[in-house]
Structure 1
Amino acid sequence: SALVKKYIEETLPDTKVIPTRDDDRFIELYQRTVIANRANADVFISIHCNANDNKTAYGTESFVLGMGEKDQRLNKTAQLENAARLLEENWESNYEELNTNNPAAIIALRAYQDAFLEQSISIADEIQRQFEGRVKRRNRGVKQQPLAVLRGSTMPAVLVELGFLTNPGEEDFLQSTQGKELLASAIYRAVKEYKFKREQRDAGIQTEGSSLTPVVENSVPPVSDKPTETSVEPIPESIAAAPSTVINVAIEDGLTLHFSVQIAVSRNDLPCLPENFKGLESVWKQEQYGLYKYFCGRLTTFTEAEALKEEVLEHYPDAYLVAFEKDKKIDLNEAKKRAP
């Protein structure tokens, strides 16, 4: 967490990082989001190390607040994370809305979830992409769980699991100086990318002036700084990154890298017809994590995409440009460099 703070504040001078703690004292889970809320933070990132009875489990994963996919059962990571609340006084009343057997609690939890779900998933996706692409860690995906440390946040919030201390090879990597630097750098780059996208979306153009205040919550235990050369052998597991499903899309042959304008996100699956999108033609959609993202156009040059964005902004003021390669979202700046 200290390295994440260092990298962000050194490279993004208009961004302030507020740690929830600077030492090893225990802070109640609900108080951590209280700190973030009082600071009017833009992002809450809770950094943890994972554990599992299966000593071969390895890889990074990120969580956002939610009921979980398909059912209301807590996965192993969520059980371990939420167990920390048992150390607190009056924990039952503090976390009543996490009781998934209570219908009223489920409604309250879904209200928290819906408020910042899209932004939380966006940050979590970017963190996982950085872990996989730059640090070469196994991507276990982005998941939704009713996590005590995230509930009550009035901002996008993500819990990040850096790896498994119960896997000897991964533990060595997590304890090494190189491992800490690479993982911290990946989180910093994800925050930087999220900041850029938010500024672009807010202003409708690429800008550099907006400030961002992330709160970094540290739950990583103290580890040695001794560098260790390690390698983790791939082990087949059933957990993988959640796929995106492209719906109602006809892709022109040879069209791999393209730009689109993102116009909306909804839980509703709407037909991609002009009458549903203020008369806009060429609307298409992707489904991921139970959300439908709607885009306009598929353009091969950035100039054409900018022109389309200006037209779309007249109907959707929050619209912004995104880039895809074979219908997988990629970095916009990278796409601009490669586009004709």
Structure 2
Amino acid sequence: MTGKAPLFDWDDLRIFHALVSAGSMSGAARKLGIGQPTVSRRLDQLETRIGARLVTRLAEGIELTDVGERIWTQVQIMQSTAGDIERIAHQADRADSDRVRLSAPEGVAGYWIARHLTGFVEANPNISLEISTRTDGENTLEQCDIALQMSESKRMSHVATELATLHYVPFASRHYLDTYGPPKGLADVLMHRTADIVSYREQQTHWPREAAAIKQMLNPSLTTDSAIALIEAVKAGAVISLLPTYAAKVEPSLIHLDLELQVPITLWMVYHPEQRKVTRSRKAIDWLREIFDSSRYPWFRRDYVPPSEFSDVETVHIRGERPRPRLV
């Protein structure tokens, strides 16, 4: 079986591209690092194989013929494709290295993700994880590869999956309770020193109706946009505040005030589907799923699990009068 001889050598097209780009035989030779006679000979070979003159040799350089113009258009496309192939190959070589940009709420980043970084950095020494806690709604997705957020993305082009449920319950410190005493009931909390975080306001539409109505009645002693400031204020004994139940695991000195009040907020993981094709991003996504796995960490389950069931944190059970807000 005999095969048909190829119409041209791919390398001849590379030389043709260099010739037209440089505008002369000598310019192409310098660009390619070969002799000018070699450029001329390879051009002759290409024209012979195609069966048409591609350029007209002039004293000041070269000029494309009609056929040469049409072939030059296709060669430019081929050159661009070759560049794309090189970039893909380069990305493949560096697929498990370079930077992954992650956006997450400050409390989640500082009190949970940071505590699990050791395993990730040891397993992926070539990946640089960049964590940002400055969130700007949907605009955050333009600035990161993976976003953890407390609202589902409205972008149809992105994947949004439920990563965990954060159950917010009231916490206080021993110093606070020794100083002011525990609330006598949920209604009495309105008379205590409480704290509020700005992001809670944005999430209020997802709160249970009673919790949202009670929150409207609060006159907080502290309002902040920092989850770290909030939890430190609770630890110091300045205020009572809602904190996610995993706070009992990372700060066991806190005291859970069991007022039969808990607010579940879904934590979403959002990313463009193309990120799953990038090894480093896929590793980060899988790692995040692992450290928020509710089968290992029961406080992230959809169903509420009291802190006393997974932590040695002290719990004060309070069953007094509940406020009677006007529910709308």
TM-score, with structure 2 as normaliser? 0.23
* Structure with the bigger percentage of helix: 2
Greater gyration radius: 2
